[in-house]
Amino acid sequence: MRRWIRAAAVGVALLSARTAQAQTYNFLVDYFGGGNAAQAAGSDNIIGTNILPGDSFFWRIAANGGQWSINGPVSQFPFMAFQVNETANRVGDYTLNLFLGNSTVFTETASNVPHSFVHLGTNTVSLTGPMAWDRMELTFSLSSSIEDPQYAADPNNLQNTNSTISSLLPIFGAPENNSFYPGVTYSARVVPEPATFVLMGLGLGIVGIVARRRRA
């Protein structure tokens, strides 16, 4: 009985120690189109970071002067998932948000999501269109990462594995570059020139004058 209690106490202590060591990362990426991306100022180091069970991260990809868009329904796999070095079966929870400016245009939350092999994040995400967005944000928490039996040295004794990130963008590239699941385009964001604002102001002023004269 004493041995069982002692073993249980050791197990609880180990679990508590792992929980106390759990890390939360802040990954920030600027995207410039054409597959070109850079780690943004203030970001934790992305490539080479090992995400362990219990760890979580916030991953933001912000379009610099551009935006993504779809004209109709699109399902893309995996939509927003890092490429990792180790092959494994992983389970995690996530919340995905897409924004256009300050407006949320899409959100999806999923728990206990299994995904295999060498990606870490979402699986397939289905979007309805038309839709445009210029910022993608994923909050992810990893529950487990275990060897895949196909690649394990001993399929009867599967081990925990690392999840070492090896990309800034999703595993198949930015959404418009995913050749396996096409349908997303990337284009420059249209910003009205100052002259356009002037013309709009003049037009509204004329409309107001005409309306007042009619009332008079």
- The pLDDT tens digits for 36-58 are 999 999 999 999 999 999 999 99
Q: How confident is the model at residue 129 (pLDDT cuts 50, 70, 90)?
A: confident
Please give the pLDDT value at position 153: 85
Q: What is the pLDDT of residues 136-186, one digit of tens each?
A: 999 999 999 999 988 888 888 999 999 999 999 999 999 999 999 999 999
pTM of the model: 0.79
Q: What angle do CA 193, 196, 201 make, to 5 degrees?
A: 135
The arithmetic mean of pLDDT across residues 62-80, rounded, is 97
The rounded mean pLDDT for the chain is 86
Q: Where are the domains of the chain?
A: 2-215
Q: What was the pLDDT predicted at 21?
A: 87
Ramachandran class of 8: left when φ > 0, alpha when ψ lies in -120 to 50, beta otherwise: alpha
